Homo-oligomer: A and B are copies of this chain.
Amino acid sequence: MKSLRVGLCGVGNVGGVVLKNLISSSSLLELQGGVRFELIQVGARKGKSAVPFEGINVTKDLLDVARNREVDVLVEVIGGTDFAYELVTEAIKEGKHVVTANKALLATHGNELFSLAKENKVEIGFEASVAGGTPVIKALREGLVANKVKWFAGILNGTSNYILTEMESNKSSFNTALKKAQELGLAESDPSLDINGTDAAQKAIILAALAFHVPFDFSFVNFEGIEDIELEDIKYAKELGYSIKHIAHGKLNNSLVSINAFPTLVNNKTLLSQVGKEMNALEIYSESVGSTVYYGPGAGPEPTASAVIADLVDIAKGGWDLDINPNSDNKLEVSDPDTVSRYFRLQVKDETGVIAKISSVFADKKISIEALIQHEAKSKEDLESIPIVIVSGEISQSASDNLKEELENFPEVIPGIKNFRIHSNKE
């Protein structure tokens, strides 16, 4: 039976479960994985008091673990990008494999780390960095190895998806839904990285590096969070046959790769639209196989630890032996040439001729109007300004920005037009 000597850095939510499983699930891992793990050392800043097991070598200096000659693989579950980078770099230089759950680390330092790993002939496992316990990295790297990926679209931030699901199902406001997520431990007390789209965007660059063989370069990801979505938008989307999801999207157009993460309308007939609560899902469209979808819990200590251990088993068996960024012809680009249909919600003063004015802007720009909703005014407030919702034909981001600017120039249109993409299932 293969064996692997593990050094674990971090005994927080995820690290605690990894520790517990390495100790208490050893017979399951031997049976199913054919691997015996030996826990050599645990790095915990608080020392022994943070480790609820006897007879374990605990150090407060995490770099001890990176330098421990008995350790084959260092598990980094401390989070953050500064010390984690130092720790992982040190471990790799010492010839150790690394398993990490840290998407921020990879999105920021992925290129340096994978080059260093290649130089030192060690592996970096990062299944846990995207979609938690759902093996999407494995699917992309191995299951679909014979396919050229054309695009992916994923619900990768559980907190955002929980909030959007609450808004849609219970007609909660954004703030009420966020508060509920916080009460349930699904959002942190400072939820900004989740709800402003950063977390999903970091995961998108990791998927893109793997799918399209481009560098990890977070500066190429265009993203926005879900903070601007109002209940009104969710209701109109539903009326049009869509749910609003936060979608991380990567696409190969010829050799140009665009990556973004935006609130997006997803057709209610698709699986992605059915992904509720804090669940994650990733759709990968590739040549040969076409569309495959992977669904599961995207976070939480148990699922994340499951992914960390799966990486450890793979490394014990020889790893993946793969250049993460081999030479390919694909290039990242910042401007997104992709054209998609878009949703616009305008608040306009209810004056005669306003629809004509608005629709003439679309006509002048040769942008088609696929759907338009204007309901009868129902209340006094409505009489001051009424919402108009328009679904446009396929236009680029820049065309959409221009359109929005021009519409907001009309005195009848109240500034702050809502504008979201509509997910396309085409190739």
Interface residues of A (CB under 8 A from B): 2, 21, 25, 28-29, 31-34, 127, 132-135, 138-139, 142-148, 213, 271, 274-275, 288-297, 302-303, 305-307, 309-310, 313-314, 317-318, 320-323, 326, 328
Contacts and interface: CB of A to CB of B under 8 A. Distances in A.
Nearest to A326: B31
Contacts of A146: 21, 25, 28-29, 32-33, 305-306, 309-310, 313
Contact of A139 (B31, B138, B290, B326): B138
Contact of A133 (B32, B135, B292): B292
Nearest to A293: B295
A302 B317 contact: no
21 contacts: A21-B288, A28-B148, A29-B145, A31-B213, A32-B213, A33-B322, A127-B143, A133-B288, A133-B292, A135-B142, A135-B292, A146-B305, A147-B306, A271-B274, A288-B302, A289-B303, A293-B293, A293-B295, A293-B296, A294-B295, A317-B318
Given A138-B138, A144-B306, A323 B292 contact: no
B313 A145 contact: yes
Contacts of A293: 293-296
A156 to B, nearest CB: 15
Contact of A296 (B148, B292, B302, B322): B292
Nearest to A316: B321
Which 9 pairs across A and B sit closest by C-beta, in order of nearness? A135-B143, A292-B296, A133-B289, A146-B309, A293-B295, A318-B318, A288-B302, A33-B145, A289-B303
Contacts of A31: 213, 326, 328
Given A142-B314, A290-B303, A317-B321, 18 more contacts: A21-B146, A21-B288, A29-B146, A31-B213, A33-B146, A135-B138, A135-B144, A138-B138, A138-B143, A288-B303, A288-B306, A289-B297, A289-B303, A290-B296, A290-B302, A291-B296, A294-B294, A294-B295
A3 to B, nearest CB: 12
A67 to B, nearest CB: 27
A183 to B, nearest CB: 21
Which one of A146, A307, A317 has the highest number of Cβ atoms from chain B below 10 Å of its Cβ?
Answer: A146
Contacts of A313: 142, 145-146
A297 B302 CA distance: 30
Nearest to A31: B326
Contacts of A138: 135, 138-139, 142-143
A310 B133 contact: no
A305 B288 contact: yes
Given A318-B317, A321-B317, A326-B31, A296 B289 contact: yes
A280 B350 CA distance: 50
A145 B310 CA distance: 6
Given A34-B323, A138-B139, A288-B302, A144 B294 contact: no
Given A31-B326, A306-B146, A314-B142, A134 B292 contact: yes
A31 B322 CA distance: 9
A177 to B, nearest CB: 20
A33 to B, nearest CB: 5
Contacts of A143: 127, 134-135, 138-139, 307, 310
A235 B12 CA distance: 51
Among A133, A303, A328: residue with most chain B CB under 10 A: A133
Contacts of A291: 296-297
A303 B145 CA distance: 12
